[in-house]
A and B are shown apart, each in its own frame.
Chain A
Amino acid sequence: MESIFALVLAKANYVAYIILMMVGLYAMIVKNNLIKKIVGMTIFQTAVILFYVSIGCKRGATIPILEHHASPETAAHGAEKIVAHAMDAVNVTHYINPLPHVLMLTAIVVGVATLGVALALAIKVYNTYGTVEEDEINQQLRSG
């Protein structure tokens, strides 16, 4: 029991994204209201975005912005600082991995675009049937 708890705690980010993803999937499959389905779709996509963001993390690391020590004033202070700076730049364990975050910028844009198209389609559906409840639409389709 304790080992399972430890495992869940160690992989908390994975557990969290899977729970979020399943919440989204549940809404997309079960909900009757098209807008709720669209909300579910957004949660589903966001779960994967959070997953990507979390895998870039490292214990004790900071944001990947290198400080430029070699400005004109500090350059005169001698070789030690430059060496220290070089060591600092090389040591990747001090910085979190920025690549997944950069990828997710693109994925967020894609998600927003998908949401936009989905909402536009929902408006068209509403204009046609006067409702966004799926069972009512199906009823209209069957009778008409």
Chain B
Amino acid sequence: MTRHLPALIIVIPLLAALVTAGSGWINQKAPFRIAVAALLFSFICAVLMLIQVITTGIAMEYRMAGWAGPMGIVYIIDHLSALVLVIITAVSTLNLVAQKKNIISEFKDKAGAFNALYVLFTAGLIGMTATGDAFNLYVLLEIVSLSGYALIGLGNNRAPLATLNYLFLGTIGATFYLLGVGYLYIATGTLNMAELATIIPQNMGSGVILFAFIICLTGLFVKMALFPVHGWLPEAYSQSTSVSAGLIAPLTTKVTVYIMVRICMTVFTPEYTFGHLDVSGFIVLLAIVTIVFGSLSALAQKNVKKMLSYIIIAEVGYMVGGFFLGNRLGISGAILHIVNDAAMTLALFLAAGIFIWKTGGESRSDLKGLFAKMPFTMAGFVLAALSVVGVPPTCGFFSKWYLISGGIQAGNYLFVAALIFSSLVNAVLFFRLFEIAYFEPFTEGHGHGGGSHGNSHHYTGVLAIKEAPLDMLVPFLIASMTLIVLGLYSGTIVTNIIQFAIPTGVI
């Protein structure tokens, strides 16, 4: 059974996506249940595989249809991919459970199709993470992108245009990656990642390989919204529905960063990426610009979702910059931040989803007086915000610690300064929200505020507590508690998992 886990983890959601689409016609509630069951199954598979990889210490290899090695497509579950698989499936499941009410109210009879897209998107991400074949990665990348376009395009009136722009840039990114794979194939004659990694070091001076590296990375940078090519992200994420944003915002950019780590370390090998090439400095510089730009743009936003989107761009800069510092501390920080940032972004977007559900507005001023109205939700939100700022017991602090230590070790003080600057800006951003939510009096919105419609509810002295519904609140609180758990166990994660994910050649 455990032998087949790497296949089951993707096959089950893929089949479930097909079943989900049709099941909506038979039973209204079936799509949601099937989707949750499939995602939960994947989550259990991911946890089992992570445990197995940690205990045995060796990577699992699954040969699709029994074809071995370079001829067939293999799925590789090593420390890195097992960790990312757990986070993908956990985020996806939690978000779906938390936003059940949102799905019903937004999509009504189309919920079946929506759930199918949701599961398909997650299946694509799982495949991207597990695959050991460069071309297979492209196909799964496009599965993720296409279902992502559909998920975002289902948002409000302005969403289709934002999605179309995302689609143009996303296609450019994916096509560049495909082109890079083509050049790799010309130079090496293989698409298998493990075999590529043995051939590339023998031919480091090759211009074809250099071109492949540059074009692959450019494609991935477009996909993850690094500075000059970030334009699609804020519009697309802020116009989408809460459910889609809660799935896509925590996962897409993070998994793309994971793919970058995989391509640079497993395919091109660290000796080539950091030793032979002299591009790290330039990419770290791009990351620094991304961090500063993302933070400053976030300051200018009145819309909460848009502000969060710009924070995501800044966080992409953290991870890319940390990775290209090229030392063990920086890379550990980048990988740890993939996990932490996915959890933090999930918590933030779930909170935003609850605010929008309750108040009906997305603006900063819609948060007025919410501390008194929804104490539990706000407590979770504060936790998530503190984690983004980087306050000690939460996980955000620890990955930033690794990143900053890596920056100091590499002597790149500009990167360190950018990280600290961004943390300060995040503090300003979130404390501004707290101030609005804590001190300004509540004003009735037009959302699902509870049964008080039409009555006189202007006496703000007696505030009835109208907390978010339990099935939204509980997953959200689990997500925000995870931030503390991840923080407390970050040392364990680094010594037991991430340490083995980095090749021994990297100091």
Q: Are B163 and A25 in contact (CB under 8 A)?
A: no
Q: Are B139 and A114 in contact (CB under 8 A)?
A: no
Q: Which of B146, B158, B175, B179 is the most central at the interface, judged by chain A CB atoms within 10 Å of its CB?
A: B175
In the complex, which residues of chain A have a beta carbon less than 8 angstroms from the beta carbon of B158? 128, 141
Q: Are A117 and B178 in contact (CB under 8 A)?
A: no
In the complex, which residues of chain B have a beta carbon less than 8 angstroms from the beta carbon of A48? 175, 178-179, 182
When A100-B185, A114-B142 are in contact, do A51 and B179 touch as well, CB less than 8 Å?
A: yes
Q: Are A114 and B171 in contact (CB under 8 A)?
A: yes
Q: Which of B139, B149, B150, B182 is the most central at the interface, judged by chain A CB atoms within 10 Å of its CB?
A: B182
Binary interface encoding of chain A residues 12-44 relative to chain B, with 1 for a CB under 8 A from any of its CBs, else 0: 000000000000010010000010010001001
Bound: A103/B157 CA distance, A: 37
Residue A89, interface by CB 8 Å: no
What distance in Å separates the Cβ of A73 from its nearest Cβ neighbour in chain B?
33
Residue A110, interface by CB 8 Å: yes
What distance in Å separates the Cβ of B232 from its nearest Cβ neighbour in chain A?
13
Bound: A6/B424 CA distance, A: 59
Binary interface encoding of chain B residues 131-149 relative to chain A, with 1 for a CB under 8 A from any of its CBs, else 0: 0000100110010001001
The residue on A at minimum CB distance from B170 is A114
Q: Which of B157, B158, B167 is the most central at the interface, judged by chain A CB atoms within 10 Å of its CB?
A: B167
Bound: A26/B138 CA distance, A: 24
In the complex, which residues of chain B have a beta carbon less than 8 angstroms from the beta carbon of A107? 138, 178
Other-chain residue from A37, A55, A110, A113 in contact with B186 (beta carbon distance below 8 A): A55
Bound: A96/B348 CA distance, A: 53
What distance in Å separates the Cβ of B69 from its nearest Cβ neighbour in chain A?
15
Bound: A120/B153 CA distance, A: 10
Bound: A91/B497 CA distance, A: 47
When A45-B171, A110-B139, A114-B167 are in contact, do A121 and B160 touch as well, CB less than 8 Å?
A: yes
Bound: A128/B182 CA distance, A: 40
Residue B433, interface by CB 8 Å: no
Interface hits, B179-218 → A, CB 8 Å = 179, 182, 185-186
Q: Are B163 and A121 in contact (CB under 8 A)?
A: yes
Bound: A121/B166 CA distance, A: 11
Q: Are A128 and B160 in contact (CB under 8 A)?
A: yes
Q: Are A118 and B164 in contact (CB under 8 A)?
A: yes
What distance in Å separates the Cβ of A105 from its nearest Cβ neighbour in chain B?
11
Q: Are B182 and A117 in contact (CB under 8 A)?
A: no
Q: Are A103 and B149 in contact (CB under 8 A)?
A: no
In the complex, which residues of chain A have a beta carbon less than 8 angstroms from the beta carbon of B157? 128
Q: Which of B150, B157, B161, B163 is the most central at the interface, judged by chain A CB atoms within 10 Å of its CB?
A: B161
Residue B168, interface by CB 8 Å: yes
Other-chain residue from B142, B160, B168, B179 in contact with A124 (beta carbon distance below 8 A): B160
Q: Can you report 11 A-B residue pairs in the complex whose CB atoms are below 8 A from each other?
A: A45-B171, A48-B175, A52-B182, A103-B135, A110-B139, A117-B149, A121-B149, A121-B153, A121-B164, A125-B164, A128-B161
Chain A residues close to B by CB (< 8 Å): 25, 28, 34, 37, 41, 44-45, 48, 51-52, 55, 99-100, 103, 106-107, 110, 113-114, 117-118, 120-122, 124-125, 128-129, 137, 141
Chain B residues close to A by CB (< 8 Å): 135, 138-139, 142, 146, 149-150, 153, 157-158, 160-161, 163-164, 167-168, 171-172, 175, 178-179, 182, 185-186
